[in-house]
Chains A and B, each alone.
Chain A
Amino acid sequence: MNTSAASPAESKDSAKGVAWRSLLGRYGTLVALAVLLLVNVLITPNFLQWQTLFVNISQVATIAIVAVGMTLVIATGGIDLSVGAVMALSGALAPLIFGSAFGMANPVIGLMLAIALPLVAAMACGLFNGIMISVLRVQPIIATLILFISGRGIAQVLTNGNLQTFSNPAFSYLGTGRVFGLPFQGWLAVAIAAVAFWLVTRTIHGRHLLAVGGNERAAELSGVPVRRVKIGVYIICAFLSGIAGLVVVAINSASDAARNGNLMELDAIAAAVVGGALLQGGRAPVFGALLGAVIIQLVKYTLLANGIEDEVALIAKAGIIVAAVALQQGRRE
């Protein structure tokens, strides 16, 4: 995605420090990943084991799936704070459906509905966000704040706030299945990123998406259906959050509306930004988001595996977010 052709010309007429910053901004993500891996190989006990890989893949997959959606939203110059709440909602719905009397009587149809209906509900949330933002012209932060506040509440109302445990091997495949020896949801995340990459780079919709983020007014004047593009992107983001919500529930064989997707909006935004998404819009580095999710997961894992508390990991995450965005600013200059 990053062409190095322009960099010699740039570094010639800019001061040395700025060139450094721009270089770091360009390849910072990869450098950070390499450093993280090296540090882990050196200090983390039992890092080079399959088990470590599986744990990290299954944890990073949900962040990556949501981060891809977030990247598309950010590419239009928006933001979606409701992703965690949407995860909670779709995760709460699934066990309700396959665990209902109808679902028990018709396991196959029940299972299909338990995957389809939560995703439809998630897309309805995205439609709501999209209409608020593009038709009513509410700022994305505020528009998605509404579902951020009430979405998790709706999920808890549906479940009475109870933890729903279940055993449904077919559904749990989403979270525990293996394909070619690697966790199913890892493949799912990569497949989703590949589709999103294709969408952005090879289709007219992708052009529209980037045009809206680059300059909305200009896009509108040149005939881009701005409203439809924006509504569509929030629906996609909510749909992917819905999938992530189902995966989390399947991993745990339990659905907890209070915890499912909690703070996911922060992880997803951080992953997107670390991966090179510009908050002003106009760029959609989909595989960057995947990389960003991996870095955030690795930092979390490194700290935890070395006995450093969860709380310190929060501070580290904060530092990563600030550093990534500050470097972005450097790149723009």
Chain B
Amino acid sequence: MNSTTEDAFDLRPLLRGSGQTIGVFIALICLIVFGLLRYENFGGAYNIASFLNYNAMFILISIGMCLVIITGGIDLSVGSVAAFSSVCAAYLSPYGLQVALPAGILAGMAFGALNAFIILVLRVPPFIATLATLLGAKGGSLVLSGAETIAVDWGSNFTKLGMEKAFDLVPWSILIVLIVAIIAWIILERTSLGRTLLAVGGGEEASSLMGLEVGRAKAFAYMFSGGCAGLAGVFLASGFGAGQPLEGVGWELSAIASVVVGGTLLTGGLGSVTATVIGALLLGLVFNILNFENGRGTISLSAYWQQVIRGSFLFLVILLQMRVARQRTTKGLAPEKAEQSHASG
């Protein structure tokens, strides 16, 4: 009880996920406090809004990735799918947001359905299946756009989504991300579908023997992830004023990193939407702060160093996660058992 890790374990039921979740939350708060103390513009409305607006896309695909990883799968196609739907949305932008938004989401969900088909019917491992759709979506968006950015129609209301505020208060993108996060949270924590997702990740064969709809749950996870990627693509087109076929490279890695930072086990069966969002915010904030340092000329990092730091950060988090996992097993509390105690409590 006297060490912080003990406290973290006791607080665990508050934020589901592995014991590291609280640690990540504390790290986020520490970073925010550090930023507020060190930079005068850090807490300014402009920085907060632009930070959240930019990271909305990454939070979205991280939420989708979280559900997929909970089932024990992985979705490498999210970045290309987002690029593809950004092109679709940009082409349809003259018809207004009411057409382009659903079209972008549907394009993403179509790729999700394709993933589900390849994984469930052709029985190709998720890693390879989504790798193939990564290539397919990339090729598709390049063919569709002729490898050029597609300008959106500024006359229509399409750019409102990425550039304006809802009720003059919060940017639309942030409001929508919040809604998606709440929907994902409710599905995971309060519905039988969510239970099935967790059960599938914990043990697919057992779940199937117990009569759970394993296939349907997995198909849902991939389509949800595809839909999130599609929505992220719509944000991309709307916020930057163009459909971008070349964007999205490495997004899947940011999303996976966010999920891992949030303490979700990559083996599936355990995970939390809240923690994933916190993880995505934490990763984004590290870069926001790096940029501030760059702005002050104190470290002046090139973009290349940022990649190195990103990798090192992932390395640190993985080491931490391994330690947490090991501590838990030495206490005789296997991940599955921890999950059961959450379920009953």
Most chain A CB atoms below 10 A, which of B118, B125, B132, B138: B132
Q: How far is the CB of B207 from chain A (nearest CB, A)?
A: 20
In the complex formed, the residue of A with least CB distance to B135 is A318
Interface bin, chain A: 35 or more
Give every chain A residue within 8 A of B138 (Cβ-Cβ).
311, 314
Bound Cα distance from A87 to B123, whole angstroms? 32
Determine whether the beta carbon of A142 is less than 8 Å from that of B135. no
Which of A33-41, A152-160, A193-201 interfaces with chain B? A152-160
The answer to whether B154 has its CB under 8 Å from any CB of chain A is no
Binary contact readout A139-152 vs B (1 if CB under 8 angstroms, 0 otherwise): 10111011111111
Give every chain A residue within 8 A of B135 (Cβ-Cβ).
266, 314-315, 317-318, 321
Give every chain B residue within 8 A of A311 (Cβ-Cβ).
138-140, 142-143, 147
Q: How far is the CB of B309 from chain A (nearest CB, A)?
A: 8
Interface residues of B in 95-133 (CB under 8 A from A): 118, 122-125, 127-129, 131-133
Determine whether the beta carbon of A312 is less than 8 Å from that of B143. yes
Give every chain B residue within 8 A of A137 (Cβ-Cβ).
322
Interface bin, chain B: 35 or more
Determine whether the beta carbon of A318 is less than 8 Å from that of B310. no
Determine whether the beta carbon of B123 is less than 8 Å from that of A326. yes
The answer to whether A319 has its CB under 8 Å from any CB of chain B is yes
Judged by DSSP, the binding face of A is helix
The answer to whether A104 has its CB under 8 Å from any CB of chain B is no
Bound Cα distance from A157 to B134, whole angstroms? 28
Determine whether the beta carbon of B315 is less than 8 Å from that of A146. yes
Determine whether the beta carbon of A326 is less than 8 Å from that of B122. yes
Determine whether the beta carbon of A149 is less than 8 Å from that of B253. yes
Bound Cα distance from A47 to B260, whole angstroms? 49
Determine whether the beta carbon of B131 is less than 8 Å from that of A150. no
In the complex formed, the residue of B with least CB distance to A320 is B132
Determine whether the beta carbon of B310 is less than 8 Å from that of A149. yes
Q: How far is the CB of B194 from chain A (nearest CB, A)?
A: 24
Interface residues of A in 41-83 (CB under 8 A from B): 79
The answer to whether B312 has its CB under 8 Å from any CB of chain A is yes
Option from A139, A146, A279, A314 in Cβ contact (under 8 Å) with B311: A146
Give every chain B residue within 8 A of A153 (Cβ-Cβ).
304-308, 310-311
Bound Cα distance from A322 to B134, whole angstroms? 12
Option from B123, B128, B147 in Cβ contact (under 8 Å) with A321: B128
The answer to whether B318 has its CB under 8 Å from any CB of chain A is yes
The answer to whether A325 has its CB under 8 Å from any CB of chain B is yes
Q: How far is the CB of A84 from chain B (nearest CB, A)?
A: 12
Determine whether the beta carbon of B124 is less than 8 Å from that of A329. yes
Determine whether the beta carbon of B308 is less than 8 Å from that of A314. no
Determine whether the beta carbon of A312 is less than 8 Å from that of B139. yes
Q: How far is the CB of A58 from chain B (nearest CB, A)?
A: 23
Binary contact readout A109-148 vs B (1 if CB under 8 angstroms, 0 otherwise): 0000000000000000000000010001111011101111
Determine whether the beta carbon of A314 is less than 8 Å from that of B318. no
Option from B118, B266, B267, B307 in Cβ contact (under 8 Å) with A150: B307
Judged by DSSP, the binding face of B is helix
Bound Cα distance from A315 to B139, whole angstroms? 5
Q: How far is the CB of B103 from chain A (nearest CB, A)?
A: 21
In the complex formed, the residue of A with least CB distance to B315 is A146
Q: How far is the CB of A322 from chain B (nearest CB, A)?
A: 5
The answer to whether B74 has its CB under 8 Å from any CB of chain A is yes
Contacts A136-B319, A148-B253, A309-B143 given: A157-B304 contact, CB under 8 Å? yes
Contacts A139-B266, A154-B308, A318-B133 given: A146-B128 contact, CB under 8 Å? no
The answer to whether B56 has its CB under 8 Å from any CB of chain A is no
In the complex formed, the residue of A with least CB distance to B133 is A318
Option from B139, B260, B311 in Cβ contact (under 8 Å) with A318: B139
Determine whether the beta carbon of A314 is less than 8 Å from that of B322. no
Contacts A141-B74, A314-B138 given: A150-B312 contact, CB under 8 Å? yes
Give every chain A residue within 8 A of B278 (Cβ-Cβ).
none
Bound Cα distance from A146 to B129, whole angstroms? 22
The answer to whether B152 has its CB under 8 Å from any CB of chain A is no
Binary contact readout A234-273 vs B (1 if CB under 8 angstroms, 0 otherwise): 0000000000000000000000000000000010010001
Bound Cα distance from A319 to B310, whole angstroms? 32
Give every chain B residue within 8 A of A318 (Cβ-Cβ).
132-136, 139
Determine whether the beta carbon of A315 is less than 8 Å from that of B136. yes
In the complex formed, the residue of B with least CB distance to A136 is B322
In the complex formed, the residue of A with least CB distance to B260 is A142
Give every chain B residue within 8 A of A190 (Cβ-Cβ).
none
In the complex formed, the residue of B with least CB distance to A311 is B142
Bound Cα distance from A166 to B314, whole angstroms? 35
Bound Cα distance from A57 to B279, whole angstroms? 46
Q: How far is the CB of A154 from chain B (nearest CB, A)?
A: 6
Give every chain B residue within 8 A of A266 (Cβ-Cβ).
131, 134-135
Determine whether the beta carbon of A325 is less than 8 Å from that of B125. yes
Give me the 4 closest cross-chain CB pairs, A-B, nearest first. Answer: A150-B311, A153-B307, A314-B139, A311-B142
Known: A137-B322, A153-B307. 8 other contacts (CB 8 A): A143-B318, A148-B311, A149-B250, A157-B304, A161-B303, A309-B143, A314-B139, A325-B122
Listed A/B pairs (13) with beta-carbon separation below 8 Å: A139-B267, A146-B314, A149-B253, A149-B314, A157-B304, A157-B305, A273-B128, A279-B127, A309-B142, A309-B143, A318-B132, A322-B124, A325-B124
Interface residues of B (CB under 8 A from A): 74, 118, 122-125, 127-129, 131-136, 138-140, 142-143, 147, 250, 253, 256, 260, 266-267, 302-312, 314-315, 318-319, 322
Interface residues of A (CB under 8 A from B): 79, 132, 136-139, 141-143, 145-154, 156-157, 160-161, 266, 269, 273, 279, 309-315, 317-319, 321-322, 325-326, 329
